[in-house]
Amino acid sequence: MENSVQPVADDPLPKQFVRLPDWHAREGGGLFATFGSLQWFVRQYRKQLVDEGALIIRAGPGGTFCGPNFGPVAVKLLRNDSAANV
């Protein structure tokens, strides 16, 4: 009997979540001019992003993954921050 971990059928990670650099390359350039600015944003809003299900933090070489709602959540957080500073 093989003792291997089987993927969960409804696990969205393989299809819907992408690594942070890949998200920036495909979708993030309009919102974050540089990858460094995206990294800063993730550091500042880490808890909120995780709470919203937009970010999965993994230690080690696996890296951080963005969910399909990362862009809309990022815009919402930036809008809220902007409104608070007016």
pLDDT tens digits for the chain (86 residues)?
444 444 445 554 557 889 999 999 998 888 999 999 999 999 999 999 999 999 998 887 778 899 999 999 999 999 998 888 87
* Token reading at 3: 């003792």
* Token reading at 56: 């999965």
Handedness of CA 48, 82, 28, 35 (dihedral sign): negative
What pTM does this model have? 0.77
Q: Are 12 and 67 in contact (CB under 8 A)?
A: yes
